Structure 1
Amino acid sequence: MKKIMLVFGTRPEAIKMAPLILEFKKNPFKFETKVCVTGQHKEMLEQVLDFFSVVPDYNLNIMKPQQDLYDVTSNVMSGLREVFQKEKPDYVLVHGDTTTCMAASLAAFYQQIKVVHVEAGLRTNNIYSPWPEEINRQITSRIAMYHFAPTELSKNNLLRENIAETIIDITGNTVIDALLIAQDIIKSNLEVENEIQAIVAEMGYDVKRLDSEKKMVLITGHRRENFGQGFMNICNAIKKLSQNYPSIDFVYPMHLNPNVRNAIDSVFPDFTKIANLFFIEPLEYREFVYLMSKSYLILTDSGGVQEEAPSLGKPVLVMRDTTERPEAVIAGTVKLVGSDTNKIFEETSRLIENKINYVEACKAINPYGDGKACERIVANEIFVK
């Protein structure tokens, strides 16, 4: 029996690792599955764990006020030292590009534990964009002994870095597995949908406003690279859009980070007076999936949303200058607009006003998988050697 430990710390990681945890736990005679969360995110992380009924074996609870990347990195590594010494896992699985991912990989390496990287091979090849995510994933790739790449392009990125093809497997992205599980839960139970609508309304937006005539644009933003002027530009674009399209609702679940909230407060000192603009509190994963399904299009700087929205047939405008997910750009499911106020406005307007462009974006095929990534990972031969 192999002992598997999955380590993650943020909400996006939790969403993508939860279905993998459930898949490993389907095989209790093959795997002893342990879960360690670092708490790099706290409330938002716990929401996802509750939704997927995942109970961590360890919680490092590293989140502290005013912490920076030095604090996160050192606290993850020191916390995992004791966990790894106690559990002695055969494999540590990490995900993506967070500071938790990088620090956990290094902590496992220091104890000569095999590191497996889920969602491996994403690249912009600019270590400052996105920052610090690009360098996190590059460091993790140097440490990992096996790489589960979501797409052919991700695999090719790894091959160009002289990583052997024999230790790379293309699986699709586990975020699609999570999305399909969430959709099934929501669609199969009218009481769940009614509960979701009530929660979203309590947060500040009544989904029942939407009908065949009323549209909603969903907005998210949280990336460090947009802190400061970037978020100011994004907020100014939202303001201009809400003024030019009064019949469309613009809904922005606000990230908890003060850098995001301060920009919103600066541009919208009294946003409650704008009838079609809704800055609401952060949503749990279930509620956010529901809002995505009800949206007309999505403005985001999130990596996960770039992968999820195409499976729901929703066009995505990415408010970043670069993306480590060019497959979606090539497929036509997303378009980069940066944090330029005018470009965000112009490209959003084009999708609102040009039906042909909108329909083409909706029909584009999602390049990130079929919802069976977790099955492929668990069945990989490395876990049965």
Structure 2
Amino acid sequence: MQPPYKVMFLFGTRAEVLKLAPIINLMHRDTGTWQTVLVSTGDSQLLNDTLAYLNFKIDFSVDASNIASTNEVELLSQLLHNLNNVINAGQPDMILVAGDATTSLAASLISFYHHISLGHVEAGLRTYERYSPFPDEMHRRLTDNLADLYFAPTTRARDNLLQEHHPAKRIYVTGNTSIDNVNHTLQGDFTHPLLQKIPENHRILLMTMRRKDNIGSPMKRVFHTMRDIVETNSNVDLIFPIYPYPEEVSLANEILGDHERIHLIEPLNHHDFLNIAARSTILLTDSGGLQEEAPALHRPLLLLRDETERQEAVSLGGVKIVGTDPTTIQQAVFELLNDEKKYRQMEQAEVPFGDGHASEKILKIIAKYLQLK
């Protein structure tokens, strides 16, 4: 096959487009070799704001009005129908997806039926708990079953793929593109109005919590715990960008609202978020991406989940699993605020997710693969 190679990128969430963005940007700089086709399968404000922030022009946008249901079966069914038409119109040489969202699963099935090669960025992540996280765990396993190229972020992810008998010659340890984003985004002279409101001698806790399986009782426990922590530490501020789920917004305002040192804000663009995270004392999250970014930012992270598919960061000491148990969270935050040795150990933990050049490695692999087709 001769260049330019037409590569289709599919994404329906902010996390997916951020993972694929470093690869897309590199392709845009070499139009003699690459032709990108960007397909959006979502219509959330977060995704649209992220696309605008990245200055990405969408080539195909799936009608989100038909797939707004939270029912995963209906969502997958509608995606398969609509993406079939997109593939017929776009005629790509290869499809690239990232992670474990419903879009990745739908794209993998469509690529199989159309005999189009599929590359899976962030392949091989596993908890080996079928329903945890749900439905992410099975999405990534099924996507890997249909992929042609596997871009594993770590040797652990590669070993998972080998254990499942995926072909070794198609598995590449590239690092994670999230580290590419960190390296390109941090700004030494960064300022933000929010940071200017917080006294310099205060320590900042930055929290994100957005998983749907945490909404309800788990989220209430965490919010009450975080308010207690702020109220009992006069030099601590909490920053919480609220994901726009109605129940999350309601709970945050009810439990965390009306406190001068708790800052409830709208989601930040990725540039501002990473730079504020780099200036925070402790990060708390239930998401996947921040588990990768925290070690690269050299900030301790407390994971508000009971398990992780990114065990490398836990094993190396940069991430600690605390779940949503109030006592466990309180003790972990107290230790990091008061035990300088423990803090330094987490802060200086090794970065397990690559050297910040994953996207360059992925491009070279794809170019060689398509050249030989």
Q: What TM-score does the superposition give when structure 2 sets the normalisation length?
A: 0.94
Shift, 1:53, TM fit: 2.2
Task: Say if 1:62 and 1:72, in contact at 8 Å, map to a contact too.
Answer: no
Unpaired runs of 5+ in structure 1? Answer: 199-205
Unpaired runs of 5+ in structure 2? Answer: none
Deviates more, 1:126-135 or 1:239-248: 239-248
Question: What residue identity is the alignment partner of 2:326?
Answer: T
Matched, 1:5 2:5: no
Matched, 1:208 2:196: yes
Shift, 1:61, TM fit: 4.2
Instruction: Report what 2:340 is aligned to.
Output: 355
Question: What residue identity is the alignment partner of 1:312?
Answer: L
- CA deviations over 1:23-62 (Å, ceiling 9, x no partner): 12233222222111111x5221122222222212112142
Instruction: Report what 1:258 is aligned to.
Output: 246
Instruction: Report what 2:370 is aligned to.
Output: 383
User: Among 85, 88, 97, which residue is 2:88 paired with?
Assistant: 85
Instruction: Report what 1:202 is aligned to.
Output: none
Provide the alpha-carbon RMSD of the alignment.
Answer: 1.6
User: Among 24, 38, 41, which residue is 1:38 paired with?
Assistant: 41
Distance in 2, matches of 1:106 and 1:62, equals 19
User: Among 223, 228, 232, which residue is 1:244 paired with?
Assistant: 232
The aligned runs of 1:125-136 (5 Å cut-off) are 125-136=128-139
Distance in 1, matches of 2:206 and 2:162, equals 37
User: Among 296, 301, 312, which residue is 1:327 paired with?
Assistant: 312
Q: Secondary structure at the match of 1:278?
A: strand
Distance in 2, matches of 1:301 and 1:329, equals 14
Structure 1's consecutive aligned runs of 4 or more residues displaced over 4 angstroms after TM superposition are 63-66
Distance in 1, matches of 2:156 and 2:68, equals 38
Q: Secondary structure at the match of 1:207?
A: helix
Distance in 1, matches of 2:6 and 2:313, equals 35
Distance in 2, matches of 1:67 and 1:122, equals 24
Distance in 1, matches of 2:176 and 2:361, equals 10
Distance in 1, matches of 2:109 and 2:275, equals 37
Task: Say if 1:131 and 1:224, in contact at 8 Å, map to a contact too.
Answer: no
Instruction: Report what 2:98 is aligned to.
Output: 95
Q: Secondary structure at the match of 2:92?
A: coil
Distance in 2, matches of 1:265 and 1:87, equals 44
Question: What residue identity is the alignment partner of 1:170?
Answer: V
Shift, 1:265, TM fit: 4.1
Question: What residue identity is the alignment partner of 1:324?
Answer: E
Q: Secondary structure at the match of 1:379?
A: helix
Structure 1 residues 363 and 290, CA gap change in structure 2 (3 angstroms): same
Distance in 2, matches of 1:231 and 1:211, equals 28
Shift, 1:83, TM fit: 0.9
- Determine what percentage of the aligned residue pairs are the same residue: 33
User: Among 221, 228, 241, which residue is 2:216 paired with?
Assistant: 228
Question: What residue identity is the alignment partner of 1:87?
Answer: G
Deviates more, 1:363-372 or 1:56-65: 56-65
Instruction: Report what 1:316 is aligned to.
Output: 301
Task: Say if 1:42 and 1:61, in contact at 8 Å, map to a contact too.
Answer: no
Shift, 1:254, TM fit: 0.6
Structure 1 residues 65 and 164, CA gap change in structure 2 (3 angstroms): closer
Shift, 1:181, TM fit: 1.7
Deviates more, 1:19-28 or 1:312-321: 19-28
Instruction: Report what 1:203 is aligned to.
Output: none
Shift, 1:223, TM fit: 0.9
Distance in 2, matches of 1:44 and 1:163, equals 35
Matched, 1:288 2:273: yes
The aligned runs of 1:75-154 (5 Å cut-off) are 75-154=78-157
Question: What residue identity is the alignment partner of 1:382?
Answer: Y
